[in-house]
A and B are shown apart, each in its own frame.
Chain A
């Protein structure tokens, strides 16, 4: 097991290098660039822009810029942002807790409820509950998140005044967990709504597939009670694809939810990404690409290890 994990981690090194080259290349291939923001400022002349290009090192060929960046990465230097001059790692790390909290709550809430709904729906297929759950999931998936977000703000913050409309803390209440919870409720639920819908569908179809396997019939023939058949025989097999799915979803913990964060003014990673994208903040974008790649690799590795632990048929070799 240990040697497997080590090997996987070693394999991920060339993968990360590849990701960084492609990411860097695509970013520079895309038209436009960080200097465009200066064009809109009328006091900035063309010679000023050329001078800033030199200072930011954007005059050098792309491969040289990449090598400089990569050399920095090897020594643990993530570079400095173009427009604030701050270390990229600081800029990313200061946003991470907010995103972890929002995505973590939304994901766990959604998975818990979604999987439960899915299981109940599969067990009682075509029942009233199943029909309602299916319709509900379709509705949740069809409406855009921003609409749910704005409606939630309108009803719960503006009309009823029960919950704050945005932000993470009331001013002056920084660090107060109760206040944080109040602010977390709306964005977490709005975000969870869609994820719940997706997971309920996955859980339902995954369990349905298992329920129709031969060994389930055998178990029934053996005279096992329905409860036992579900928990001992069906569930472990039905959960496997869900664990793999969780591994794929893990990077979302880092990358955040752009629309929800913007509507609720949640100071997370999604907004940092969009701001960086608008400004063409290459150093921040590269930092986020690398972080996301790390999470993808870690998520898949963890999922594989868990599946191996759960399923004796899978050999990690």
Chain B
């Protein structure tokens, strides 16, 4: 991998992708998500549902049964107390937990006995299962004694229940793990696992080619080398869907973008597929919603309105935006002129921006590229909705659940309410209602219909214009088996306990 993990406590890490590796090696969640998007039991014996009695009819009470045979690698038994402690740590205001999504709905947490838990929610919330999939359980018997978990030594020398134990770490180079022979899902099939960090993507690719590296994860084979990589004998190129979808974000709070017609026209003018083919070498897959086309809730009846500059021109004319003396459209003294920002120094994104700039110029719209370093553009510039437009990749907000409340609900605009992440400042009463409905529907077909309608409205009103779903080209040796590309997690090692040498 090209990045190095700095935080090994599963509750505290920040960098998804790389910091998922120590998490998966050393810790377990109640359940994981497999490559089909289904939950599979891990520390819990089964996934609670209304059918198996795990969730009450009103959706408010969740009963979780834990495996009785799990031990921490220091020999202590794993019990419901650990799950309770993990929950308490998550809601402890003094701990720098990255997210409490879902956990903030817990009204009452009850430990029934050492293997049974009952959780009462303040409202019915189907994606609650994702909250637990994203949080791995930490040991109560070790961490409850710590005065400050943020700076605890545990964070660099953790004890977990996972398939591996951390044996040594060489800063800036690699981490070596030894197999946990007592792992509750069966001991891993190899003795040692080494997580290596090679900062330069091309150099890492070189090492994967020469065989110094057995499996290359983050950030994958560079897009322009996919064809070459796929042709290497004894190697498999795994095109792995990543949960992110790239968007053009329109700040609906700015006068240029208030009218949905303008946003739709701007979207229609863009050569989305061409930018994917030319700039991303076809490594992205065009999507028309905030979900990957492979997601179970994706609305496959959506039609791609791009590229259609004629229709875009017509729509802008209708909406009253007339071409001014300088060739730029304007209406009521507002010019259709704006900036687009993203992380500076990413060539692919810059090329895509340049293409979009040309596309818009043709219909009398002026866009200026204004990129910043990541820590600037994704800081208050984004969270306080100061941007005009952004080119950004994001995943759904609650694991890979289709719930999109935080990004699309009108009560989730941080520039106005201080909560949420609806940075485009989009407001639509029907979308609000559907988002509230969607998280209460237990029946998957009902949910599918709800989210299909949401995607339809978003495709019509375009608060953000979907570009493509991200894929990563991971390279592995042919003899290495068991690796399953999984679009429902960013964790390349999610099923590490199943990997083996043929």
In the assembled complex, B275 has its CB within 8 A of some CB on chain A: no
Q: What B residues does A267 contact at CB under 8 A?
A: 170-173
Q: What B residues does A40 contact at CB under 8 A?
A: 374, 378, 394
Q: Knowing A42-B406, A84-B6, say if A265 contacts B151 (CB, 8 Å).
A: no
A280 to B407, CA, bound (A): 26
In the assembled complex, A311 has its CB within 8 A of some CB on chain B: no
Question: Taking CB as reference atom, which chain A residue is nearest B130?
Answer: A43
Q: How far is the CB of A55 from chain B (nearest CB, A)?
A: 4
In the assembled complex, B346 has its CB within 8 A of some CB on chain A: no
**Interface positions of B from 137 to 164, Cβ below 8 Å from A:** 150-152, 155-156
The residue from B93, B151, B376 contacting A31, defined by CB atoms under 8 A apart? B376
Question: Taking CB as reference atom, which chain B residue is nearest A44?
Answer: B99
**A168 and B173: CB pair below 8 A?**
yes
In the assembled complex, B96 has its CB within 8 A of some CB on chain A: yes
Q: What B residues does A262 contact at CB under 8 A?
A: 199-200
In the assembled complex, B42 has its CB within 8 A of some CB on chain A: no
Q: Knowing A36-B374, A55-B96, A158-B206, say if A47 contacts B418 (CB, 8 Å).
A: yes
Q: How far is the CB of B41 from chain A (nearest CB, A)?
A: 22
Closest 9 A/B residue pairs (Cβ): A267-B172, A32-B375, A32-B376, A46-B414, A84-B6, A36-B379, A85-B151, A39-B378, A43-B99
Q: What B residues does A87 contact at CB under 8 A?
A: 151
Q: What B residues does A153 contact at CB under 8 A?
A: 203, 206
Q: Knowing A43-B101, A85-B155, say if A171 contacts B96 (CB, 8 Å).
A: no
A50 to B96, CA, bound (A): 10
Q: Knowing A95-B171, A171-B194, say if A42 contacts B395 (CB, 8 Å).
A: yes
Q: What A residues does B381 contact at CB under 8 A?
A: 31
A residues neighboring B (CB under 8 Å) = 31-52, 54-56, 80-81, 83-87, 91, 94-95, 98, 150, 153, 157-158, 164-169, 171, 174, 262-268, 271-272, 275, 278-280
Q: Knowing A55-B94, A153-B203, say if A45 contacts B374 (CB, 8 Å).
A: no
Q: What B residues does A54 contact at CB under 8 A?
A: 93
**Interface positions of B from 414 to 434, Cβ below 8 Å from A:** 414, 418-421
Q: How far is the CB of A76 from chain B (nearest CB, A)?
A: 16
A54 to B96, CA, bound (A): 9
Q: What A residues does B134 contact at CB under 8 A?
A: 43
In the assembled complex, B486 has its CB within 8 A of some CB on chain A: no
Q: What A residues does B376 contact at CB under 8 A?
A: 31-32, 36
Q: Knowing A36-B374, A84-B6, A166-B198, say if A42 contacts B206 (CB, 8 Å).
A: no
Q: What B residues does A271 contact at CB under 8 A?
A: 172, 199
Q: What B residues does A164 contact at CB under 8 A?
A: 212
**A37 and B99: CB pair below 8 A?**
no
Q: What B residues does A94 contact at CB under 8 A?
A: 171
**B172 and A84: CB pair below 8 A?**
no
**B156 and A31: CB pair below 8 A?**
no
**A55 and B150: CB pair below 8 A?**
yes
Question: Taking CB as reference atom, which chain B residue is nearest A281?
Answer: B6
User: Could you say which of B11-19, B105-113, B178-186, B466-474 contacts chain A?
Assistant: B11-19
Q: State the majority secondary structure of interface residues on A.
A: loop
Contacts A80-B150, A265-B197 known; 5 new A-B pairs at CB < 8 A: A36-B376, A37-B374, A46-B419, A165-B210, A171-B194
**B372 and A32: CB pair below 8 A?**
yes
Q: What A residues does B327 contact at CB under 8 A?
A: none
Q: What B residues does A47 contact at CB under 8 A?
A: 418-419
**B398 and A86: CB pair below 8 A?**
no
Q: What A residues does B4 contact at CB under 8 A?
A: 275
**B172 and A268: CB pair below 8 A?**
yes
**B396 and A42: CB pair below 8 A?**
yes
A271 to B94, CA, bound (A): 31
Q: How far is the CB of B448 from chain A (nearest CB, A)?
A: 21
Q: Knowing A42-B397, A43-B399, A167-B173, say if A31 contacts B379 (CB, 8 Å).
A: yes
Q: What A residues does B97 contact at CB under 8 A?
A: 48, 52
Question: Taking CB as reference atom, which chain B residue is nearest A154?
Answer: B206
Q: How far is the CB of A103 from chain B (nearest CB, A)?
A: 15
Q: What B residues does A50 contact at CB under 8 A?
A: 418
Question: Taking CB as reference atom, which chain A residue is nearest B3?
Answer: A275
**B203 and A32: CB pair below 8 A?**
no
19 pairs, CB–CB < 8 Å, chain A vs chain B: A31-B376, A31-B379, A33-B375, A37-B378, A38-B14, A41-B99, A42-B394, A42-B406, A43-B397, A48-B98, A51-B93, A54-B93, A55-B96, A80-B151, A84-B7, A85-B12, A164-B212, A167-B174, A168-B173
Question: Taking CB as reference atom, which chain A residue is nearest B19?
Answer: A83
Q: How far is the CB of A314 from chain B (nearest CB, A)?
A: 42
